[in-house]
Amino acid sequence: MSSIAASPVELSKVSRSERVAMTTSFTVSVLLLATKWAAYALTGSVAVLSDAAESVVHVAAVAFAAWSLKYAQKPADRGHLYGHDKITFFAAGAEGMLVAFAGAAVFITAVRHLIEGYVPEKLTVGIVLAALVAVVNGMVGWWIQRIGRLTGSLILVAHGRHVASDAITSGGVLVALTLVKFSGWYLLDPMVGVAIALYLAKSGYEMVRTSLGGLMDESSPELDARLRAHLDAWADRTGGQYHELRHRRSGRTTWIEVHLLLPGATTLEEAHRIATKLERELHDLAGGPAVVTTHVEPLETHEEHHMDGSSRGQSVVGSP
């Protein structure tokens, strides 16, 4: 049995990048929240209100995500032998639920304005502020998602998508206010509010779906294809075989396990060298922090060993 894990230096670099991204996001979100509520106070627009209401949830979600990120970086202990990474899935799901809740609140307000009617004011100021918010959120959201993908952080990817969705809602507000100003058709304002609410509900659902997939150890077809292609090439090159390939994500860390079948005449030292080299190669394929574990078995007699003792009746799965 052999194993290779992400180095402390690698994890330290990831942690610094995540902290910088989250701190930047929180600072920007607070400033933009104040901007949106100022725009709503000036215009009375339900579209602006929908954007501002979403930002209240956004700031709360950033604070929760920041705490979750810090908790996820705690090292493994006796009570959590595999570390604390899985909190990231819970954080992503909680943020998605908050986004969906904001969408529901906005939908109710927009429908009420559709029924009762309302005339927004000072539209020019609202247009300028909405444009500013959309541009800033779009840039920050893209940057955070990029950092999240580079570091393998689900929290940052989910949070970056949330920020990007905030930019889209602000863009919708911008379009609504511009059309209302030049057309005079005030019903466009709550109609856009309804559209934004539905978009937020969809975005929240997707974030929750991703979270549940992670909590249930849903496999990645893309990673599986990369790993199997590499292992197939390794088997062709060395004459060895493999089976019992498994992999899962626990937040930013990828866990990979595989059984290697080597000729029985292979020495222990040589088997360890072969396994360690392959582990490093699989680690690199993970695209971020990873723990790779191999179990070496004799090629000629491994079936016989699996049928002995407590292993009797077990089936061998995976690629032979």
Domains of the chain (ranges, CATH numbers): 2-215 (1.20.1510.10), 221-311 (3.30.70.1350)
Rounded Cα distance between 264 and 243, Å, is 17
According to the model, what pLDDT value does residue 303 have? 72
Q: Provide mean pLDDT across the span 186-194.
A: 78
Asked if the model's pLDDT at residue 35 lies above 70, the reply is yes
Q: Count CA atoms within 13 Å of residue 280 on its CB side.
A: 6
Q: Work out the pLDDT band at 154, boundaries 50, 70, 90.
A: low
According to the model, what pLDDT value does residue 315 have? 37
According to the model, what pLDDT value does residue 305 have? 66
Asked if the model's pLDDT at residue 6 lies above 70, the reply is no
Strand partners, 240: none
Angle at 245 between CA 241 and CA 250, to 5 degrees: 150
Q: Tokens 């400033």 label which residue?
A: 31
More confidently predicted of 57 and 259? 259
Helix (H) or strand (E) holding 4: strand 2-5
152: left (phi over 0), alpha (psi -120 to 50) or beta: left
pLDDT in tens, 97-150: 877 887 887 788 778 877 877 666 777 877 888 788 888 888 888 888 888 877
Among the residue ranges 40-44, 45-49, 51-55, 307-311, the one predicted with the least confidence is 307-311
Cα dist from 260 to 118, 243, 249, whole Å: 70, 7, 22
Q: What is the mean pLDDT of the chain?
A: 78
Dihedral sign for Cα atoms in the order 101, 104, 106, 109: negative
Rounded Cα distance between 205 and 197, Å, is 12
According to the model, what pLDDT value does residue 51 have? 72
Q: Tokens 């029985």 label which residue?
A: 264
Is pTM beyond 0.95? Reply is no
Q: Work out the pLDDT band at 243, boundaries 50, 70, 90.
A: very high
Among the residue ranges 129-143, 183-197, 279-293, the one predicted with the least confidence is 183-197
At 191, list the tokens. Answer: 């109609």
According to the model, what pLDDT value does residue 224 have? 92
According to the model, what pLDDT value does residue 8 have? 45
Q: What would you report as the CA-atom Rg of the chain, rounded to the nearest whole angstrom?
A: 26
